[in-house]
Chains A and B, each alone.
Chain A
Amino acid sequence: GENVEQHPSTLSVQEGDSAVIKCTYSDSASNYFPWYKQELGKRPQLIIDIRSNVGEKKDQRIAVTLNKTAKHFSLHITETQPEDSAVYFCAAHTGGFKTIFGAGTRLFVKA
């Protein structure tokens, strides 16, 4: 079945460093890849997304890259700040109508 794998499960960085989270998907018909940030006790909220016809997208300190051939996509956060600490989820909209999520990455940014 459709699957999204996400690594690492936990990531600890020093404030100001970069953080990279990687995901792979199984359904080659997937065409939309959102990233969500979830703070403790809150709902997931979209931070950036990318469609299958684009290789890279950037929004201030956040960027996402997509390699359709390898079925990989990654989230890059530069100049990390303590408020970036949260759980991050990647997801893939499949060729059907499902959205499959990765298991999440808990990011700690140490001041």
Chain B
Amino acid sequence: NAGVTQTPKFQVLKTGQSMTLQCAQDMNHEYMSWYRQDPGMGLRLIHYSVGAGITDQGEVPNGYNVSRSTTEDFPLRLLSAAPSQTSVYFCASSYTSGQGRETQYFGPGTRLLVL
């Protein structure tokens, strides 16, 4: 099992450029999510998905789009990058047991710099 994988590891963009951050998991988890991590602010939820074809907004969704066409993949799109989107982005996945949603497994992160 590779777990949760993310690409790229590091990216530099210019203001106004678009890009897609890739996330994949091979654990057949139905729940996937995207977070951004900024110094002193912990992890903030951008978007999440409870299954293929279903997505919803988190705490800070503006400027980001997601889709979930398969159980395995959950890409995050930046439509027009801004310096305020400079951050470390983590993808995570989890499954649901009889007790409810279980803990999340995080990918290694993507470090994004927008100039």
A-side residues, CB < 8 A to B, are 1, 6, 9, 31-32, 34, 42-46, 49, 51, 89, 91, 93, 97-104
B-side residues, CB < 8 A to A, are 31, 33, 35, 40-45, 48, 50, 56, 58-59, 90, 99-104, 106-109
A-B contact count (CB 8 A): 55
A44–B43 contact, CB under 8 A? Answer: yes
- The distance in angstroms between the C-alpha atoms of A98 and B43, with both chains bound, is 12
- The distance in angstroms between the C-alpha atoms of A49 and B109, with both chains bound, is 22
Secondary structure of the A side of the interface?
strand
Q: List 29 A-B contacts (CB under 8 A).
A: A6-B42, A31-B100, A32-B99, A32-B100, A32-B101, A32-B102, A34-B103, A34-B104, A42-B108, A43-B90, A43-B107, A43-B108, A43-B109, A44-B106, A46-B104, A51-B99, A89-B42, A89-B43, A93-B100, A97-B31, A97-B50, A97-B56, A98-B48, A99-B45, A99-B104, A101-B35, A101-B42, A101-B44, A101-B45
B28 to chain A, nearest CB (A): 18
The residue on B at minimum CB distance from A35 is B103
Determine the chain A residues whose CB is within 8 A of the CB of B103 once the complex forms: 34, 46, 49
